[in-house]
């Protein structure tokens, strides 16, 4: 019997955690920098599993001028952590697990709303542009905008 050889795609999924996977995608470099600035690298390299809704560099660029720069300042780390953890759902949620009208509790504590239509999948107001990128500790879904937690939950921290 011939030994099973893993394909290159399988190797990527088996050996790359979410942070490594994002680090290799040039369209997610701003997200990787934000994860690093927030001190979340170790967490997102952990066992998980995690589902990450990953905003592209263009999504971060679309924030009001100066917002990203401000969020990356050490004094705003708590707010950055809150925003980034709003993009993470515990567990591994594949696109096939999603249904229209569902919601999912994020690591941040608030819920994101999911809508599924003929036009695709939306998470809050962001559209999923690339789904089901598997990592060793979860899955990444690339989204086209940065989603923000409801303001009434952020004042309690």
110: its two tokens: 């608030």
Instruction: Return the closest-CA partner of residue 145 out of 81, 65, 54, 77.
Output: 54
Fold of 9-147: FAS1 domain (2.30.180)
Structure confidence by residue, pLDDT tens digits, 14-57:
569 999 999 999 999 999 999 999 999 999 999 999 999 999 99
pLDDT at 76 over 90: yes
Structure confidence by residue, pLDDT tens digits, 110-142:
999 999 999 999 999 999 999 999 999 999 999
Place of tokens 């591994």: 92
Three-state secondary structure of 15-34: HCCHHHHHHCCHHHHHHHHH
* pTM summary value: 0.87
CB 156 within 8 A of CB 110: no
């Amino acid at each position: 019997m011939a030994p099973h050889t893993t394909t290159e795609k399988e190797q990527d999924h088996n050996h790359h955690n979410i942070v490594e996977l994002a680090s290799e995608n040039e369209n997610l470099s701003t997200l990787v920098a934000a994860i690093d600035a927030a001190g979340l690298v170790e967490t997102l390299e952990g066992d998980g599993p995690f589902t990450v809704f990953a905003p592209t560099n263009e999504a971060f660029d679309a924030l009001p001028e100066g917002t990203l720069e401000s969020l990356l300042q050490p004094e705003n780390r708590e707010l950055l952590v809150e925003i980034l953890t709003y993009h993470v759902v515990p567990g591994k949620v594949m696109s096939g697990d999603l249904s229209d009208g569902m919601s999912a509790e994020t690591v941040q504590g608030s819920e994101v709303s999911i809508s599924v239509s003929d036009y695709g999948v939306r998470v809050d107001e962001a559209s999923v542009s690339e789904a089901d990128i598997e990592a060793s500790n979860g899955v990444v879904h690339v989204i086209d905008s940065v989603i923000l937690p409801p303001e009434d939950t952020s004042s309690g921290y």
